[in-house]
Amino acid sequence: MLASKRLDTLSPSDAYLRVNRTLDQAGLTVWDTPCIFIMKTTDPFVRALRKVFGKTASVEGMRLGGQSWGDRYVDDAYALKIA
Protein backbone atom coordinates (compact mmCIF):
# COMPACT_ATOMS: atom_id res chain seq x y z
CA MET A 1 0.00 0.00 0.00
CA LEU A 2 1.32 3.43 -0.90
CA ALA A 3 -0.15 6.79 0.10
CA SER A 4 1.33 10.21 -0.56
CA LYS A 5 0.06 13.77 -0.71
CA ARG A 6 1.80 14.09 -4.08
CA LEU A 7 -0.27 11.19 -5.41
CA ASP A 8 -3.51 12.50 -3.87
CA THR A 9 -3.70 15.23 -6.51
CA LEU A 10 -3.53 12.76 -9.40
CA SER A 11 -6.18 10.53 -10.92
CA PRO A 12 -5.73 6.84 -10.05
CA SER A 13 -4.35 6.01 -13.50
CA ASP A 14 -1.89 8.93 -13.39
CA ALA A 15 -0.75 7.95 -9.88
CA TYR A 16 -0.02 4.37 -10.96
CA LEU A 17 1.71 5.66 -14.09
CA ARG A 18 3.96 7.92 -11.99
CA VAL A 19 4.85 5.10 -9.58
CA ASN A 20 5.54 2.66 -12.43
CA ARG A 21 7.72 5.20 -14.25
CA THR A 22 9.67 5.89 -11.05
CA LEU A 23 10.23 2.17 -10.50
CA ASP A 24 11.30 1.79 -14.13
CA GLN A 25 13.81 4.65 -13.79
CA ALA A 26 15.23 2.85 -10.74
CA GLY A 27 15.69 -0.27 -12.87
CA LEU A 28 12.70 -2.14 -11.42
CA THR A 29 9.89 -3.43 -13.57
CA VAL A 30 6.37 -4.10 -12.36
CA TRP A 31 7.33 -7.79 -12.54
CA ASP A 32 10.19 -7.24 -10.05
CA THR A 33 8.08 -5.55 -7.37
CA PRO A 34 5.25 -6.71 -5.14
CA CYS A 35 1.72 -5.58 -5.91
CA ILE A 36 1.29 -1.88 -5.06
CA PHE A 37 -2.09 -0.48 -4.01
CA ILE A 38 -2.25 3.33 -4.05
CA MET A 39 -4.60 4.95 -1.53
CA LYS A 40 -5.48 8.55 -0.67
CA THR A 41 -3.94 9.91 2.53
CA THR A 42 -7.47 10.70 3.71
CA ASP A 43 -8.59 7.05 3.52
CA PRO A 44 -9.68 5.70 6.96
CA PHE A 45 -7.17 2.85 6.63
CA VAL A 46 -4.23 5.22 6.07
CA ARG A 47 -5.40 7.58 8.83
CA ALA A 48 -5.68 4.71 11.34
CA LEU A 49 -2.16 3.50 10.60
CA ARG A 50 -0.74 7.01 10.88
CA LYS A 51 -2.59 7.62 14.14
CA VAL A 52 -1.03 4.56 15.77
CA PHE A 53 2.40 4.45 14.12
CA GLY A 54 3.01 7.96 12.75
CA LYS A 55 5.33 9.01 15.55
CA THR A 56 7.02 5.63 16.02
CA ALA A 57 10.78 5.82 15.41
CA SER A 58 10.73 2.85 13.02
CA VAL A 59 8.16 0.27 11.99
CA GLU A 60 10.38 -1.45 9.44
CA GLY A 61 9.90 -5.18 9.70
CA MET A 62 6.78 -4.91 11.84
CA ARG A 63 3.96 -7.32 11.02
CA LEU A 64 0.50 -5.74 10.95
CA GLY A 65 -1.75 -8.70 10.22
CA GLY A 66 -4.71 -10.21 12.00
CA GLN A 67 -6.55 -6.98 12.78
CA SER A 68 -8.57 -4.14 11.34
CA TRP A 69 -7.19 -0.72 10.51
CA GLY A 70 -9.78 1.91 9.72
CA ASP A 71 -12.32 0.20 7.51
CA ARG A 72 -10.15 -2.71 6.32
CA TYR A 73 -9.10 -6.04 7.77
CA VAL A 74 -5.45 -6.94 7.21
CA ASP A 75 -4.69 -10.64 7.08
CA ASP A 76 -0.92 -10.15 6.85
CA ALA A 77 1.32 -7.17 6.11
CA TYR A 78 4.96 -6.17 6.38
CA ALA A 79 5.60 -2.51 7.23
CA LEU A 80 8.48 -0.58 5.69
CA LYS A 81 7.55 2.95 6.69
CA ILE A 82 4.57 4.74 8.20
CA ALA A 83 4.96 8.50 8.49
Q: Which residue has the higher pLDDT, 83 or 79?
A: 79
Q: In b/e form, how buried is each residue of 5-27, taking b as 16+ CB within 10 angstroms?
A: eebeeeeeeebbeebeeeeeeee
- Confidence category of residue 22, pLDDT binned at 50, 70, 90: very high
**Kind and range of the H or E element at 37?**
none
Residue 81 has pLDDT above 80, yes or no: no
Write out pLDDT tens, residues 31-43: 888 888 999 999 9
Residue 73 has pLDDT above 90, yes or no: yes
d(CA 37, CA 46): 12
Average pLDDT on 19-40 reads: 89
Return the pLDDT at 45: 92
Average pLDDT on 20-40 reads: 89
